[in-house]
Chains A and B, each alone.
Chain A
Amino acid sequence: MPAIKIHVTSGATVPQGVIIKGGGKKLPDYRNVAAVIYLDMADFKRMGTFPGTAVEVRNECGKVVVSSQLTPDGPHPGIAFMPRGPWANVIIGPETKCSGCPQYKDTVVEVEPVPEKAPLQMADLMRQQYIDPLK
């Protein structure tokens, strides 16, 4: 199962908004709606996997395991969508080019199927990503 290069854009979705506003960020539901990458069917064919497979999304900023889902907003081959949240922000570049605003849309990443792994829950992700590396 080969890794593919793709442009990622991130933003809001209704299911994720319901969990965020309902105070459910520590519930498993948050992971189910936000630890996701929405891909076009053409990109699933390039990877040789079915929707629902866990994938590792990575670039020079970091790497994160999320679930791959078929986009409801296609066709948009070569473009992937991730709901905003701690999972997507692992791969968002922090550089703002003196504008105060990072480039949340259009980040180039590599997506590789990792069927043996599963996305982390929010609290585990925060601990593993930010608290555990502390001295």
Chain B
Amino acid sequence: MFITENAKIVEKDGKKLVTDCTCVFDGCACDDIACEVVNNEIVTVYNACKVGTANFLPCRGAERFTTPLWRASKKEAFKPISWDEALDKAADILIKAKHPMLFGWSETSVEAIREGVRLTELVGGTIDGQVTHCHGPSVQAIQEVGYAGATLGEVKNRADLIIYWGCNPMNAHARHMSRYSTYVSGFFRRHGRQERKLVVVDPRHTDTAKLADVHIQIELGSDYEAFQTLRALIRGAAVTKEKVGGIPIAVWKQLAEDMKAASYGAIFFGLGLTHSASKKNSVAAAIGLTQDLCNITKFQIMPLRGHYNVAGLNQVLSWLTGYPYGVNFARGFPRYNIGEFTGVDMLRRKEVDAMLNIAADPGAHMPQKSVQHMAEIPLIACDIHPTPTTELANLIIPGTHDGIECEASCYRMDGIPIHLRKIVDPPEGCKPSNAHWLQELVQVVEKKLGEKHV
């Protein structure tokens, strides 16, 4: 609480300027945002990227949920109901279900996730999130071969070779290059971009590739081969193939030389690795390459995490259950098995008979077979705006915008916890925070189950 009290808030001409806010868009979690507020409404946003700004200033005509909505059949229209009724119905759905899934969590606070784990344990369900079908394979690779990571501050201050592999930060993490890696001036890199070399490996000439010193346009799905080739070249082995991933071997040789010559290199990889056929093997090969390079110079590797608190779900689940995602409580204790207890798979196999979705949009981002089952089962969706998921829901719970309408915490992509500052009050009808209504739901469930809150 003390952070909000100490925040720099300047009031002038009826406008309030709130500084040091955190952007609640992507894993960069930029904490240098300033907002101008008039009558409890944000009117101007400073420093954020285009997508980050949209978080603070919704689209013209965007609808906002402020009251719970219910429909018994998915073919009917929604009717507004009270919060008490909504929590009662949500508790009934989750308790009645034999195998409920509590999905999402990456765009809400650490505090809300903690309540979510408690709720999952009470109802004997499965807790999982977007993390599984984004950087889940990266977590698996880290479990297998370890991790040579660093913080983004270290990259900013030291890195002279930046490699973006299978990712397009100019579109998905718009301030990553300017704030943490490429353009920013650091303690040992005073001249910023002039002192850094930028290499992009991507099958398309993306907006990031357009800014690069070297763009290696490899064939789709040839990342594993390329990483192992680089490892061989760095170890001094002879490579007899003329082309790897459609790229002449001379280009890979040059990249290997650049890597060895760098005083501090940083590899950032994205969903290009985790979403192609070799999945965790590509990431494991990339980590192996980083480990090999650390014998010669200093290198780090980091996944570009998507949502602002997607790393938070991994962290909170790891402290509370010991596992990073896809955790099942059906037997009363946490179990973890990738493929068995992961969201996309359980829905595809129709093993889930009720679902609570919060701060995620699986209706838009899961394959059609999984979404089909979501349409067939009782679905509770908590969101602030209409989404494809709320179109399939029976019960819509109006969410609170964590980090804008309430104080919260999140984990940045490099695992640094960040406090999010409150800027405006939530709209009338919404609860003070997502953690708040989840705590109330836990109490309703406990009352119905006859257990005491521990």
Contact = CB atoms under 8 A, between A and B. Distances in A.
A71 interface: yes
Interface string B49-74: 01110110111011110000000001
A122 interface: yes
B369 A79 contact: no
A123 B370 contact: no
Interface string A91-117: 011111111111111100000000000
B393 to A, nearest CB: 11
A26 interface: yes
B280 interface: yes
A13 to B, nearest CB: 5
A23 B62 contact: yes
Interface residues of B, number: 74
Nearest to B383: A23
B363 A126 contact: yes
B444 interface: no
Interface residues of A, number: 58
A96 B346 CA distance: 11
Interface string B382-417: 001111100110000000000000000000000000
B277 A134 contact: no
B62 A73 contact: no
B59 A27 contact: yes
B187 to A, nearest CB: 31
Contact of B172 (A12, A75, A130): A12
B54 A25 contact: no
Main secondary structure of the interface of A (DSSP, over half): loop
A19 B388 CA distance: 13
B275 interface: yes
B314 interface: no
B345 interface: yes
B208 to A, nearest CB: 10
Contact of A100 (B339, B363, B374): B339
Nearest to B135: A101
Given A17-B51, A22-B58, A61-B367, A101 B204 contact: no
A79 B344 CA distance: 26
Given A9-B220, A14-B51, A86 B363 contact: yes
A100 B343 contact: yes
Given A18-B50, A123-B391, A129 B368 contact: yes
B204 A73 contact: yes
A48 interface: no
Interface string B193-224: 00000000001111101000000010011000
A52 interface: no
Nearest to B63: A26
A130 B371 contact: yes
B48 to A, nearest CB: 10
A99 B205 contact: no
B190 interface: no
A17 B54 CA distance: 8
B388 A86 contact: yes
B318 interface: no
A99 B221 contact: no
Nearest to B276: A105
Contact of A103 (B75, B276, B375): B276
Contacts of B220: 7, 9, 79, 105-106
Contact of A96 (B25, B172, B221, B339): B339
A51 B216 CA distance: 27
B59 A24 contact: yes
Contacts of A79: 203-204, 220
Contacts of B376: 134
B137 A105 contact: no
B303 interface: no
B184 to A, nearest CB: 20
A131 interface: yes
Contacts of B228: none
Interface string A63-78: 0000000011111100
A5 to B, nearest CB: 14
Interface in B162-176: 168, 170-172, 174
A134 B74 contact: yes
Most buried by B among A12, A26, A29, A99: A99
A21 interface: yes
B243 to A, nearest CB: 17
B375 A130 contact: yes
Nearest to A64: B368
Contacts of B64: 23
A50 to B, nearest CB: 21
Contacts of A74: 204-205
Given A23-B64, A93-B367, A103 B280 contact: no
The 4 closest A-B pairs by CB, nearest first: A23-B385, A100-B342, A98-B339, A22-B59
26 contacts: A11-B168, A14-B51, A17-B51, A22-B55, A22-B58, A23-B62, A23-B384, A24-B59, A25-B361, A25-B388, A27-B59, A76-B217, A79-B203, A89-B366, A94-B344, A94-B367, A99-B279, A100-B344, A103-B276, A103-B277, A106-B276, A125-B388, A126-B388, A126-B392, A129-B368, A129-B371
